[in-house]
Structure 1
Amino acid sequence: MEVSKPLLIAVFACLLATGGFVLNWLLTRKQIRLLSAELEAHKKLIQQLTKAQQNFYNTIEEGQARSMAVARSVTTLESEISALAKQIKTVSEQDPDSRLYQRAAEMLQAGASIDEVMHSCDLPAAELQLLMNIHKPA
């Protein structure tokens, strides 16, 4: 029994094609495994980055909350300081003796003589001497 040449060529071509398909299938499977491993590594990295991003957002939110609390405290303190300044001004305006002593101290610091201050503020020399000692430059 003789096998024809074209049949042998066809069988050989089929074997060769089948081998090529098997080799291609094996290489593709290997590539799929490598890409799957790389995909898993990327998924883990994305999870880590997402967690880090969430931690960062939480830190920013905490900082903003603290900043808002500090801003409210500063606003409250500013209004309290303003109210206290008004009270001090009111008290100093209500006490005429205080105004005299303050005016005398300002005059002495400006370089006025004791006689000038005595006549202007109607204060005794002993009190003016005391004011000079208290307010003299160090």
Structure 2
Amino acid sequence: MNFTATVLGTAVAALMIIAKLQAAPEPGANLGNVLGGTKVASLDPSVVGSIRAEDDRSAAMRLIDLRSGTSCKVAGVRPSTGGFEPAPIGPDCATSPELARVSQWRAGKDGTLVLADVHGRTVMRFMPGDGVLYESVYPADAIVTIVPARS
């Protein structure tokens, strides 16, 4: 009985020590000391590159139609949240049946992006995406993503 109690007590103590070592540091802790003398730099959220400023209207976008393989660049402007305005989609989008019909666009106040034809009829609707700028949600069979243009 004493042997079993000793083994169980030692196991519980070992588990508690391991759990303490694996726990995240408490808020406000000096991480340099916690991590064995390493220097940990703080991130300044105003300069982190992955955070896009809401008023950044100069970045170009690339539309990628995964069904047709079309990839085309949109000039470095973003649509306003007002009414439809001309979409600066180039002729390289013509190989996509959906994107070839687009001539106007607008941004919604809820973060959506709507692409329309010359008569203002919705051709495609996008929602902000995870890992991409936008993902198509309408029509259901469209598989188009919008990512930042690299070049």
TM-score > 0.5, shorter chain as reference: no
Higher CA-based Rg: 1
Richer in strand (by share): 2
Q: Which has the higher helix share?
A: 1
The TM-score with structure 2 as length reference comes to 0.29
